[in-house]
């Protein structure tokens, strides 16, 4: 049933990881299994055995070819540097070949104590496991680079956090689990050899277009490539009203994938300073702070690679600074593209020519105009205390002339009423049929997201009643986010007594 594993990261020097098996659990039971992802990873689903799957993915058996390890890394947590973190409750089994030709690492999260546990129990409660499963699969369906969930396995044991709840193990799949904090771990130890090995690993795995560069150029080129991916990633988060919640450097993946769905949340009513994480007391990782924090995290990556960028420290700092400062332009371009798509706009200048080929000087002006148009819609949503997802999802109705259907979601609609004619005028300049604009809007704006109150309902049903049907219904809806679900209550924002305003890490 299981394909054969390999272990590229496990082949790196011993000081980069600890080789160890998962700690067995009392009574592994499969709660959820991602069959489409499993098929893409080469599983033989005709021979699928739920009992065997639970044994392996619960940590009670090691599959063929796997070399289980816990990886070392460090990180800035809410701005404070911790020189040793590492996989404190996760075991990397190894990697599998994906049908797209790439490799994917398979990790068990909640698999028991490791040398990096720092006194923790190494386990995971069922709540955070089901949350990560739901949200990561929703993000994948929304087209956002992300880690994936292959399985959730009940452990048959209890875990104590804010409360006592059943334990579980999540099988997480990622292009790799190398983070900014991985580089920080070895930079803090002045281990240039390990840093060079990490640069080579990340280029081989994530940026093969850089493979032929001379050794002296590879570290800087890696920083530049990661800057571009992270800038695009954060713009995509913002376009969904998504707040990561723990954008520490150990949760900033070199691959450009979203990693670690702890206290994350999707906004209901829009507010740019929205925070949900119970541990983010000062709003460091609020919705509108995410670009600046991502840039800050990447500056820490660049710092670790200064010795590899140039032997001349002054030159290395100058080159690294230039690479990091490029983040703002990359993000602004990506954010403008996201807003254009969400407003149904084409990337054209006022003369109807693609911006990249514009020769009349209007391309940049229209980019600024479109950015302002998108952000002014957000301001109208903020003034009106309007739902982020539904406001964008209802734009096709306004396009068709039913502006009231959009306005009814706004408690105050003055800004919206002033904005709508500007939007219509911008669309008219393109000369594109409403049917085309409507299709653009439908493709860019989801109807269903894993709203906090829905996720909590699914978790409570699983914990209190051992009922996974609520989870399964929500999973089916959020993995088809652009379709209207049979249960239309999944579209609605929470009622006043359903609001979930705080989320937790589960560590």
In three-state form (DSSP H/G/I as H, E/B as E, the rest C), the secondary structure along 143-197 is CCCECEEEEEEEEEEEEECCCEEEEEEEEEEECCCCEHHHHHHHHHCCCHHHHHH
Instruction: With residue 320 as reference, give the H or E element that holds it.
Output: helix 313-342
Low-confidence residues of the chain: pLDDT under 50:
349-361
DSSP 360: S
Catalytic residue among 87, 121, 250, 280: 250
Output the pLDDT for position 396.
97
pTM of the model: 0.95
* Number of helices (H), then strands (E), in the chain: 17, 12
Output the pLDDT for position 182.
98
* Cα→Cα distances 463→24, 50, 246, 339, Å: 22, 21, 25, 39
Output the pLDDT for position 315.
98
Residue with tokens 């659990």: 25
Largest CA distance in the chain: 70
Question: Residue 228's Cα: distance from chain center in Å?
Answer: 15
Instruction: With residue 279 as reference, give the H or E element that holds it.
Output: none
Clarify whether 250 is annotated catalytic: yes
Output the pLDDT for position 348.
56
C-alpha torsion angle, residues 278, 279, 283, 289 (rounded to 10): -100
Q: Which residues contact 90 (CB under 8 A, 6 or more apart)?
A: 70, 107, 108, 109, 110, 111, 114, 172, 177
């Amino acid at each position: 049933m299981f394909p054969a594993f390999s272990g590229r990261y496990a082949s790196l020097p011993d000081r980069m990881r600890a080789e160890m098996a998962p700690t067995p659990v009392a009574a592994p039971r499969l709660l959820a299994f991602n069959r489409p992802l499993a098929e893409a990873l080469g599983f033989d689903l005709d021979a699928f055995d739920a009992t065997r799957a639970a044994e392996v993915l619960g940590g009670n058996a090691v599959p063929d070819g796997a070399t289980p390890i816990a990886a070392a890394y460090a990180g800035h947590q809410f701005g404070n540097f911790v020189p040793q973190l590492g996989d404190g409750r996760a075991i990397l089994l190894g990697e599998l070949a994906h049908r797209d030709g790439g490799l994917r690492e398979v990790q068990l999260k909640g698999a028991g104590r490791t040398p990096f546990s720092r006194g923790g129990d190494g386990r995971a409660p069922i709540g955070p496991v089901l949350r990560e499963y739901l949200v990561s699969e929703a993000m994948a369906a929304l087209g956002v680079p992300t880690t994936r969930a292959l399985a959730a396995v009940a452990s048959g044991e209890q875990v104590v956090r804010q409360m006592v709840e059943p334990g579980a193990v999540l099988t997480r799949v990622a292009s790799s689990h190398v983070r900014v904090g991985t580089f920080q771990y070895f930079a803090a130890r002045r281990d240039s050899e390990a840093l060079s090995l990490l640069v080579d690993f990340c280029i081989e795995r994530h940026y093969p277009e850089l493979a032929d560069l001379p050794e002296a150029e590879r570290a800087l080129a890696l920083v530049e490539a990661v800057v571009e991916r992270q800038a695009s990633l954060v713009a995509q988060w913002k376009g969904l009203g998504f707040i990561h919640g723990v954008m520490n450097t150990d949760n900033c993946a070199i691959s450009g994938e979203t990693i670690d769905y702890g206290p994350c949340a999707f906004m209901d009513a829009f507010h740019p300073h929205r925070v949900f994480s119970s541990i983010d007391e000062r709003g460091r990782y609020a919705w509108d702070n995410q670009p600046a924090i991502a840039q800050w995290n990447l500056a820490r990556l660049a710092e670790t690679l200064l010795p590899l960028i140039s032997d001349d420290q002054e030159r290395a700092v100058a080159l690294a600074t230039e690479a990091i400062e490029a983040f703002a332009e990359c993000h602004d371009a990506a954010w403008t593209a996201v807003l254009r798509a969400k407003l149904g706009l084409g990337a054209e200048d006022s003369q109807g020519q693609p911006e990249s080929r514009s020769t009349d000087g209007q391309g940049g002006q229209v980019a600024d105009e479109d950015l302002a148009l998108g952000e002014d819609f957000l301001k109208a949503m903020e003034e009106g205390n309007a739902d982020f997802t539904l406001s964008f999802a209802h734009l096709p109705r306004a396009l068709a002339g039913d502006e009231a259907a959009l306005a009814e979601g706004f408690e105050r609609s003055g800004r919206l009423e002033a904005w709508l004619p500007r939007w219509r005028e911008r669309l008219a300049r393109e000369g594109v049929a409403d049917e085309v604009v409507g299709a653009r809007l439908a493709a860019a704006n989801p109807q269903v997201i894993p709203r906090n109150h829905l996720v909590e309902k699914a978790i409570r049903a699983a914990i209190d009643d051992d009922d996974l049907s609520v989870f399964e219904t929500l999973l089916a809806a959020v993995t088809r986010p652009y379709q209207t679900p049979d249960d239309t209550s999944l579209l609605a924002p929470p009622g006043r007594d359903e609001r979930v305003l705080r989320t937790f890490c589960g560590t």
